[in-house]
């Protein structure tokens, strides 16, 4: 597990820079994390190592705050899920949210 993906980032730096200027540093960091996930996934090709990123969604936490709609257990569901995919699934370099792989 490398990290989280915010749906607003959509994997594009230009999107991160143009979304009304809201939280640009955070958004750019998530875009960079998405790219890092893809780069790391390509490194161990054929070694049986899978690298994926997961978005826990807006979750109640020190960062998400008390208004977030998801309990921490719900936020943990998707990040844990790719780590438990059956052997041989082969999904690597993916970005997941709500147990679904997001388009690249």
Which residues participate in catalysis according to the annotation? Answer: 26
DSSP class of residue 5 equals -
Q: What is d(CA 76, CA 39) in angstroms, rounded to the nearest whole number?
A: 24
- Residue labelled with tokens 């890092």: 36
Closest by Cα among 40, 48, 45 to 88: 48
3-state helix vs strand vs coil in the chain, percent to 5: 35, 10, 55
How remote is the C-alpha of 4 from its chain's centroid?
3
């Amino acid at each position: 597990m490398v990290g989280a993906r915010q749906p607003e980032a959509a994997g594009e730096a230009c999107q991160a820079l143009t979304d009304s200027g809201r939280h640009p540093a955070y958004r750019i960091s998530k875009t960079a994390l998405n790219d890092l996930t893809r780069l790391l996934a390509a490194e161990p090709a054929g070694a049986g190592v899978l690298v994926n990123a997961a978005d826990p969604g807006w979750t109640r936490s020190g960062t998400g705050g008390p208004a977030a709609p998801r309990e921490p257990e719900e936020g943990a569901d998707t990040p844990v899920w790719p780590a438990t995919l059956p052997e041989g699934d082969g999904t690597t370099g993916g970005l997941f949210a709500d147990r679904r792989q997001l388009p690249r």
